[in-house]
Amino acid sequence: MTILGIETSCDETAAAVVKGGRDVLSSIVATQIPLHAPYGGVVPEIASRSHVENIGSTIKEALAAARCHWNDLDAVAATYGPGLASSLLIGLSAAKSLAWTLQLPFIGVNHIEAHIYSVFLSPEAPEIETVLPLLALVVSGGHTALVKMDENRDCTVLGQTLDDAAGEAFDKGAKLIGLGYPGGPQIEKAARRAQPSTPGPIFPQGKIGPDNPALGSMQAELCFSFSGLKTSLLNHIKQNPITSDSHRDELALAYQDAIISALVDRCRLALESTDYQALAVGGGVSLNAVLRTRLKEIAKTAEIPLLLPEARFCGDNAAMIAGLAGHGGGVRGKAAFQLDAAPGLGWGR
Ligand code: KG4
Ligand code: ZN
C-alpha cells in the first residue's frame, strides 16, 4: 500500500508518501513557527489561513519528492482529530476530496495514536508485533498521554494531563523566563549552559488526587498536571527577579527538570504494572536530550528497548499519519468519508 498522508491539526501543513506503513518515500512539512512566534503561541486564525495557502503545494511537493503520480497511490489518509477545528478541516477536506476524485479509500487518523507510530517509520525499527504490549509516552505542545498498546494494538490511555501539555509548559515557562518560542528547545539550550553545581530552585511536581472527577478510568498517579508548575515559576520570578543570563539558565534547568521528572516518574511507575516489551516516546518534546537519556535509563532497568522516532518525525508530520494507516489503523470505509473534524477527539479506553 502506498499511502498519501496529510496532517494539519495545529500549525504545521504536512504531506507524506509512505509505502507499507514504514518506508517513507517523502515527508514535507511547511512549518508556520515564524508566523506564530511573535505571539508566543499558535494563533488558530493565522494557522488555518496558512494551511489553506500551503496545502496544495505541500501535497504536490510530497508526490514529486516521492517520485509518485496520483495513480501510484492506494489510499489517502488524514488527521481528523484532536487539534484545532479550523486547522483540522483544511487537511481533512483536502484529503477527502482527493480520495473522492481519485476514487481511492480515505482513512481518518487520530493524531495522538499516529505519534506512537512515528517510532516505526524506519527500516531499522522492530516489527510492531514483536514489541507488544507497548508503553507509549506522547508528549507534544498539545498533548501529554501515557498509553498502553496491547497485543491486538488496542490502546488504553492510562493517564494524561488534566491541564497543560508538557510542551505547552515548556512554551509558557520560556515566555516567563524571557526565552523565545517555541520554548522547549530554548529551555533545553539554556539548561545546558547552566552550572549544575549552583543549587537552583526546586519546582514541585503537580499531583492529582484520586477523587478528581476528570480522571474517569485513568489512574491518578499516572496523570499529569503542569499548570501549577507554571504558577510556581511565575511566583518564584516575582519574588526573585531575573538578574543575569546565568540566573535565567539556572531557572531553565530547574524548570526543565521538574517537567522531565514528572514524565519519567510516571513512565517508571507504569512499567512496574505490566510486562511491557518496549517503551516508545513520540511528539515534539521527545526531541529533548535529557528526556531521552532518562527514559533510556528506566528502559534499561526494565530490560526493554526504548523506541525513539527519528528527529524529523518527533514533531507534527504526515509520515506518521500514512504510517498508522499503512499498519491497518484508522477509520475506514464509508464511515471515514462521513468523519467531521473532531477537535476534542478522545481515544482508547
Ligand atoms: O509535536 P509538536 O511539534 O506539535 C504538537 O503536536 O504540539 O510539539 C511541539 C512542542 C512545543 O511545545 C515545543 O516547545 C516542544 O514540542 N519541543 C520541545 C523540544 N523541541 C520541541 N520540548 C522540550 N525540549 C525540546 N528539545
Ligand atoms: Zn502532535
Would the CA dihedral through 341, 343, 348, 349 be positive or negative? negative
Q: How far apart are CA 155 and CA 135, in angstroms?
A: 10
Give the C-alpha distances (Å, rounded to integers) separating 287 from 85, 196, 337.
26, 21, 34
d(CA 10, CA 4): 19
Three cell numbers written together for 38: 511573535
State the distance from the centre of ligand 2 to the C-alpha of 140, rounded, in angstroms: 6
Residue indicated by cell numbers 500549525: 11
Q: What pLDDT is recorded for position 95?
A: 98
pLDDT of residue 349: 57
Per the listing, cell 513512565 goes with 267
* pLDDT at 202 (0 to 100): 86
- Establish how many alpha carbons lie within 13 A of residue 104's alpha carbon, considering only the half-sphere containing its beta carbon: 22
Q: Is the distance from CB of 63 to CB of 70 less than 8 angstroms?
A: yes
Residue 237, judged by CB atoms within 10 A of its CB (0-12, 13-18, 19+), counts as middle
What is the spatial distance between Cα 342 and Cα 9, in angstroms, rounded to a whole number? Answer: 10
- The residues pairing with 76 across neighbouring beta strands, listed in sequence order, are 4, 106
Which ligand has an atom closest to residue 109 CA?
2
Q: Could you tell me the distance, in angstroms and rounded to a whole number, from the CA of residue 27 to the centre of ligand 2?
A: 15
Among all ligands shown, which has an atom nearest to the Cα of 290? 1
Task: Give, using CA atoms, the residue closest to atom 16 of ligand 1.
Answer: 284
Which atom of ligand 1 sits closest to the CA of residue 170?
Answer: 14
From the CA of 283, the nearest ligand is: 1
The pLDDT value given to residue 195: 81
Q: Return the residue whose CA atom lies nearest to atom 10 of ligand 1.
A: 141
Tally of CA atoms within 13 A in the half-sphere of 50 that contains its CB: 21
Ligand 1 atom index nearest CA of 256: 23
Contact present, 223 and 291 (Cβ < 8 Å) = no
Sign, CA dihedral 149-154-160-166, equals positive
In tens digits, the chain (349 residues) has pLDDT values of: 999 999 999 999 999 999 999 999 999 999 998 999 888 788 999 999 999 999 999 999 999 999 999 999 999 999 999 999 999 999 999 999 999 999 999 999 999 999 999 999 988 899 999 999 999 999 999 899 999 999 999 999 999 999 999 999 999 999 999 998 889 999 999 999 998 766 778 898 888 988 998 998 899 999 999 999 999 999 999 999 999 999 999 999 999 999 999 999 999 999 999 999 999 999 999 999 999 999 999 999 999 999 999 999 999 999 999 999 999 999 999 999 999 999 998 876 5
Residue 34: asked if its preceding bond is cis (omega within 30°), the reply is: no
Residue 35 class from Cβ within 10 Å (0-12 exposed, 13-18 middle, 19+ buried)? middle
pTM for the model stands at: 0.94
- Residues within 6 Å of ligand 1 by CB: 10, 140-142, 167-168, 170-171, 182-185, 188, 283-285, 287-288, 315-316
- Among 84, 177, 281, 285, say which to mutate for ligand 1: greatest number of ligand atoms within 8 Å of CB: 285
Q: Which ligand is nearest to the CA of 141?
A: 1
Atom of ligand 1 nearest to the CA of 141: 7
Which pLDDT score is estimated for 313?
A: 98
Q: How far is the CA of 112 from the centre of ligand 2 (A)?
A: 6
